[in-house]
Amino acid sequence: MKYFYTGRVRFSEVDDRLSMTPYTLLNYFQDTATFQGEDVGLGIEHNRKQGVAWMIVNMQAHIFRFPRFQEKITVGTWSHGFRKFLASRDFSVEDNEGHTLALATSSWVLMNMTAGVPEVIPQEQIDGYGPNPDWKLEEDLGKRKIRMPDDGEEQKKIAIREEHLDVNGHMNNAQYVRLSRRFLPDDFTVHHLRVEWIRQVKLGDTIIPLRAEQDGRYYVQFLDLQGEKYFISEYQ
């Protein structure tokens, strides 16, 4: 089934230009998907009892225009396919007149939180979300895999604190975007975003950011102290 959430852009969700930030936009996507889960009986507490949680793997988004302060928007989400461990979920954002402001597609994996490995998606999850392959976005939003340019420059390390975490004890997905955005030019407006979440960051971890620019695109990658990847993003 398709699910829609209507909201009003708050003062706490905009930048100094009174426009919604990429961080806030991703939060709207996450919240709408979470609301759908709660409303179909597959919410956080239900999944906890099953020992599982949904983890986002990647997202590709195109922003035609960022919503503005006080603007009323409708965020839509729907699943268009499930395959063993993986679910595909799309998003849309429309203004009060029905104009499309943003589109996104994403992949999610159902994780066994005790074993820390993917779990085969049970039929109750598939039935609850009612996927329809015909709902898959026709727009080409880019490849899932991102290649970081070789000349990435190391930036100031980031220590992970409690305010970065979500209900699963990992860094919230949107926080990766918020933290990576600080390494872009202040006047840079994001129109297209590709993101890969590779490994979960936890409390007490230290992130080493790498930043690169190529053909007008900015890349930000997060590594651990041993040089293993946590996250990679492409902004254009």
- Rounded Cα distance between 5 and 1, Å, is 13
Measuring CA to CA, which residue among 146, 196, 144 is closest to residue 173? 196
Which residue in this structure is represented by tokens 């990679």?
A: 232
Its pTM stands at 0.94
**Cα-Cα-Cα-Cα dihedral of 122, 127, 128, 131, to 10°?**
110
Architecture of domain 153-235: Roll (3.10)
User: Which CATH number, 3.40.50.300, 1.10.10.410, 3.40.50.1010, 3.10.129.10, labels domain 3-135?
Assistant: 3.10.129.10
Q: 189: closest CA among 236, 232, 146?
A: 236
Instruction: Name the residue ranges covered by the structural domains of the chain.
Output: 3-135, 153-235
Check pLDDT > 90 for residue 80: yes
Element (H, E) at 181: helix 173-181
pLDDT beyond 90 at 204:
yes
pLDDT tens digits along 165-182 = 988 888 999 999 999 999
Asked whether this chain's domains 3-135 and 153-235 adopt the same fold, the reply is yes
